Amino acid sequence: MPELPDITVYVERAQSLLQGRTLRRVRVLNPFVLRTAVPVISSIEGRAVQGVERLGKRVVLAFEGGLLLVIHLMIAGRLRWLAPGAKPPGKLALASLEFDHGLLVLTEAGTTRRASMHLVADRAALAAMDPGGIDVMACDAASFEARLRSENHTLKRALTDPRLFSGIGNAYADEILHRARLSPVALTRSLPAADVQRLLEATRAVLAAWTARLLAEAPVWPDKVTAFRPGMAVHGRYGQPCPVCGAPVQRIVHANNETNYCARCQTGGKLLADRALSRLLKASWPKTIDDL
């Protein structure tokens, strides 16, 4: 799922391309993508885009008259910018917004249709869609700590909870925890104050660095948005060497989610129990990175 750095790039590039431009035509190519009926989607045709913004992991296009188009990419949704008159990419295309100078297309890979568009009438309706997570790039240290400790969860779960923090998902949570040298299963209410401060600093550093990097790589439009990127320290790098200590990156698999971490850097050498493998191996499951 595109996270804060990816969504920020989409927002900034869309702002540059669409600010002040009039939407000529909107086409819903898959009926399941549009989740609202009122206002009617055609009501944004002929209106200029007044701004583009982020709401959590959503991209919001603000039109004249107060109408707001909210695009949620979910896991496999992506936004593409095409030249005028270009044909949307076959079955992947869910909707298109046609401007005089180009075409903004919402696509989704695979067969599970989870990406969505909502057209809402005003800011109050937009606010009702906000999960409530705070912006870690703008909050103060006290607000960050209060939100982190508001529920007693593992750090990985807390960072990726959209009710607590805005825009952080599986990939960047792994990177943040590695940079902070903290275990993904450490409990939020048991975390020493110094570790909370280190976590805040790591969160801001990772998100800022990746946002700057992705902006530099996409001067016009981001053509490759993925959760697995060269240069990441641990996410998606199971079995590969940690860039800090060289130990093989480990993982915990739960349902469709995978947590990647370095045992030597983050857990004092202890291997965390993988729900599938540790149950299978039982007593043979290695306890430390050195045993492995």
pLDDT digits (tens, 9 = 90+) for 50-83: 999 999 999 999 999 999 999 999 999 999 999 9
In the structure, what pLDDT confidence band is assigned to residue 281 with cuts at 50, 70 and 90? very low
Average pLDDT, the chain: 93
**Can you read off the two tokens belonging to residue 34?**
């549009």
- The reported pLDDT for the residue numbered 24 is 98
pLDDT digits (tens, 9 = 90+) for 195-223: 999 999 999 999 999 999 999 999 999 99
pLDDT digits (tens, 9 = 90+) for 139-164: 999 999 999 999 999 999 999 999 99
Question: Listing from the earlier edge strand, what are the strands of the sheet with 116-120?
Answer: 49-55, 58-63, 68-72, 116-120
Whether residue 283 has pLDDT greater than 70: no
Q: Render the chain in DSSP notation, one character per residue.
A: ---HHHHHHHHHHHHHHHTTPBP-EEEESSTTSB---SS-GGGGTT-BEEEEEEETTEEEEEEGGG-EEEEE-TTTEEEEEE-TTPPP-GGGEEEEEEETTEEEEEEE-SS----EEEEESSHHHHHTT----B-TTTS-HHHHHHHHTSS--BHHHHHT-TTTBSS--HHHHHHHHHHHT--TT-BGGGS-HHHHHHHHHHHHHHHHHHHHHHHHH-SS------S--TT-SSTT-TTSBPTTT-PBPEEEEETTEEEEE-HHHHSTTBPPPPTTHHHHHGGGS-SBTTT-
pTM value? 0.92
Whether residue 256 has pLDDT greater than 90: no
In the structure, what pLDDT confidence band is assigned to residue 254 with cuts at 50, 70 and 90? confident
What domains can you pick out in the chain, each with its CATH number? 4-127 (3.20.190.10), 141-284 (1.10.8.50)
Pick from 110, 76, 74, 80: nearest CA to 95: 80
Distance CA 225, CA 1 (A): 9
In the structure, what pLDDT confidence band is assigned to residue 101 with cuts at 50, 70 and 90? very high
Kindly tell me the sign of the dihedral angle through the C-alpha atoms of 122, 128, 131, 134.
Answer: positive
Instruction: Flag the least confident range among 78-92, 134-148, 186-200, 247-261.
Output: 247-261
Distance CA 46, CA 52 (A): 17
Whether residue 260 has pLDDT greater than 90: yes
Whether residue 104 has pLDDT greater than 70: yes
- The reported pLDDT for the residue numbered 9 is 97
Whether residue 282 has pLDDT greater than 50: no
pLDDT (mean) for 13-29: 98
Burial class (CB in 10 A: 0-12, 13-18, 19+), 197: middle
Distance CA 94, CA 207 (A): 29
In the structure, what pLDDT confidence band is assigned to residue 90 with cuts at 50, 70 and 90? confident
Whether residue 43 has pLDDT greater than 60: yes
